Amino acid sequence: MEITEVRIKLMEDPQERLQAFCSITFDHCFVIRDLKIIEGTRGSFVAMPSRKLTDRCPCCGTKNQLRACFCSQCGAKLNDDRASRDTEGRSRLYADIAHPINARCREQIQARVMQAFAEEQVKATLPGYVCTYDDYGEDGFATLDDSELAEPITEREFRGRTLRMDSPEPSSAGAPQPMPVPRSGPHFPVPGLPRESSRDHDWVAAANGDRELSPDEGFGTGVM
């Protein structure tokens, strides 16, 4: 097989050891992505796509990275020196998921990728340069869903808000106006919060527009 295409994505900080990502295509029909060009002590080299090695928590069986000090599921304290070591005494924290199995193939990939890397560095200095590496929008930012503001609030959220902010002004129907705050982030239980009653259901329904409160149920009802 021949390497018919190499795409390079240069890193923005030239001082970092990770210099670029790249993908290679064999015979116009098979692509391997996420190769990395890394600056080592003896010059730049090509690192194959890899994944972090894991083991299982002896208490709950959940997988954790080998450098994890605590289980991500049950919180059990783990020994942080669990990784095996190579012949040079370095911890083995990653495993290649695609790699050459002989020196000839590795040298062929290394030479072709480093040639494309040098050419990409020259192209990046020209006006109108556009990177051809496709990262599928991984460097983009997510957008907020406007429907989050319109979703009905839960009783706990509604009651929690009334304890965390000033009482809102009553509407013409006598019900308080719900605050237009996003529903993102954790909603925590409020210490000392009394148990919900049927009256709480009425207030939540009114805040969501599903029910109107009668005049004797309006804001301040029951205050002596």
Contact indicator for 73, 60 with CB cutoff of 8 Å: yes
Mean pLDDT of 194-223: 49
Q: Minimal CA–CA distance to 116: which of 22, 41, 33, 12?
A: 22
Cα–Cα distance measured from residue 46 to residue 148, given in angstroms and rounded to the nearest whole number: 44
Q: How many domains does the chain have?
A: 3
Indicate if the pLDDT at residue 212 is higher than 70: no
Q: By residue range, what is the domain housing residue 83?
A: 53-94
In a domain, 61, yes or no: yes
Residue 42 covered by a domain: yes
Q: Do 166 and 110 share a domain, yes or no?
A: no
161 shares a domain with 211: yes
pLDDT at 151 over 50: yes
The verdict on residue 83 lying in a domain is yes
The answer on pLDDT for 91 being more than 80 is yes
pLDDT above 50 for 224: no
Nearest in space to 113 (alpha carbons), one of 12, 26, 191, 222: 26
Whether residues 13 and 61 fall in one domain:
no
152 with 203, same domain?
Answer: yes
Q: 39 and 106 in one domain?
A: yes
User: What is the DSSP secondary structure assignment for residue 216, as one 8-state letter?
Assistant: G
Q: Are residues 127 and 20 in the same domain?
A: yes
pLDDT digits (tens, 9 = 90+) for 131-148: 988 877 666 677 766 665
Number of residues assigned to the chain: 224
Return the axis-axis angle of helices 155-164 and 198-207, rounded to nearest 10°. 80
Helix/strand/coil percentages in the chain, nearest 5: 20, 25, 55
Q: Are residues 101 and 27 in the same domain?
A: yes
Same domain as 70, residue 129: no
Question: Is residue 123 pLDDT above 90, yes or no?
Answer: yes
**Assigned domain for 138 exists:** no
* φ, ψ for residue 64, nearest 5 deg: -135, 150
206 and 118 fall within a common domain? no
Evaluate whether residue 222 is within a structural domain.
no
Task: Say whether pLDDT at 178 is over 60.
Answer: no
Co-location of 106 and 45 in the same domain: yes
What's the mean pLDDT when you consider all of the chain?
76
35: domain CATH number is: 3.30.1120.40
DSSP 172: T
**pLDDT at residue 23, as a whole number:** 94
pLDDT bucket at 183, cuts 50 / 70 / 90: very low
- Could you tell me if 42 and 111 lie in one domain? yes
Residue 140 lies in a domain: no
Cα–Cα dist 116/131, whole Å: 13
What number is the average pLDDT over the span 179-188?
A: 43
Question: Are residues 82 and 159 located together in one domain of the fold?
Answer: no
